[in-house]
A and B are shown apart, each in its own frame.
Chain A
């Protein structure tokens, strides 16, 4: 086993991309295709997490991410319990930490948490011996989305290093934009952002270029255009005049799709898409549209994360002298 490998595991939780070292990211990404292979087998299940218990704790609705984690855990033979907000005592005013101590008696090994407030995943991780995976906390982070996005680019382009990626949409309120741009930059990509002025954060890393229009975006010669989902419920805050206007300025229209096709640019989106807002219908049939692959890769990347955290817990147990 080489030196780089030894340092690639050992962590208890996955809270954000920022705190991960390059060899940790690399380990998760390198193993992801091995987990993707499992889905092609006659028996789509391996016993590496047999006897382990995964709890999903979602304070925000999300069918896709929760199902993706659930499938990932089940394909590794873990047991899964879904703790949903509406049926829990959260509605009775129980605090997050109280919930955790209650859940502790269930002896779970992994907790997958989504919450509207930034920092909740970290708070739970500090109060629980279980491995915690952040499945989205406020505007802060969504690390497994970032990993699946990076893996999707690696799979199609061979590498992330040197690739040019434009993220389009509400950058300010997007944990996806934050985590995905972070992982892409760590892996050596060039990142640019495009969106309505009020939705582009003033404080950005110096190496993130802010573009003004789709014309500028095309001149920047991207390899990938990453469209963010417009949160329709946020429309009331009036960050842009109308959805029609948004589509006209920042959506992939038929005309822009022609240019994208001609240049062979990949299209990504974390889903679910708002047709007619971020993109027109035809984008979904474009041969370089990776949106469905992102969904499939999401399961594989999450399996890889669970495996990586399991190795981390094995390593920490080894370190305790018996």
Chain B
């Protein structure tokens, strides 16, 4: 992240609270889909571990959930974003019966909705799932496209100069959700 000078960092979710939020989301998924065939597809990079953990939480009740991971670079709408384009990664979508599974997309933070638009396009390159839903750990508001989450761990509408950082054991060595405020931003 290069959002400039960081003045303050506030913890929004501790490791325990993050785990609890994931469990709540898992329950909501079970409730909505008691029998349907599911695929959890994480958006690179932190959506992957989130999808994996969600499957782990549900493994006692649902053994048939398959995992996928997608890189959305090919479908970005900001093709002038050099840093993002250089970070092109691999989509791992070995889901042979994709057209029969309800796909739940996972991402850490939902903001403008543009990443999710790209993710839907990427997903449709692999097949035509009967339903696509969206699960995010944090919704920070400020949508620029008509996209809303179906499952969400925390809603926190950010203000100018603020951004959300999600840390996950798999990528960052520890769990937690943090609010970063650039210098000059008033603390609420």
Contacts and interface: CB of A to CB of B under 8 A. Distances in A.
The answer to whether A binds B is yes
Contact of A314 (B75, B82, B90): B82
A307 B76 CA distance: 14
Given A42-B126, A42-B127, A43-B125, A1 B87 contact: yes
A20 interface: no
B86 A46 contact: no
Interface stretch (A33-41, A112-120, A204-212, A257-265): A33-41
Contacts of A31: 88
A241 B87 CA distance: 54
Nearest to B92: A37
A33 B91 CA distance: 11
Contact of B90 (A34, A41, A48, A318): A34
A158 interface: no
A37 B91 contact: yes
Interface residues of A, number: 21
Contacts of B126: 41-43
A47 B88 contact: no
Q: Is the interface of B mostly helix, strand, loop or mixed?
A: loop
A37 B90 contact: yes
B86 A311 contact: yes
Interface residues of B, number: 19
A8 interface: yes
Nearest to B87: A1
Interface string B74-98: 1100011011011111110000000
A311 B85 contact: yes
Given A37-B91, A42-B125, A47 B74 contact: yes
B88 A1 contact: no
A98 to B, nearest CB: 34
Interface in A216-265: none
Interface of B: 71, 73-75, 79-80, 82-83, 85-91, 124-127
30 contacts: A1-B83, A1-B86, A5-B86, A8-B86, A9-B86, A31-B88, A33-B90, A34-B89, A34-B90, A37-B90, A38-B74, A42-B126, A42-B127, A43-B125, A43-B126, A46-B74, A46-B75, A46-B125, A47-B75, A48-B74, A48-B79, A48-B85, A307-B88, A311-B82, A311-B86, A314-B79, A314-B80, A314-B85, A315-B82, A318-B82
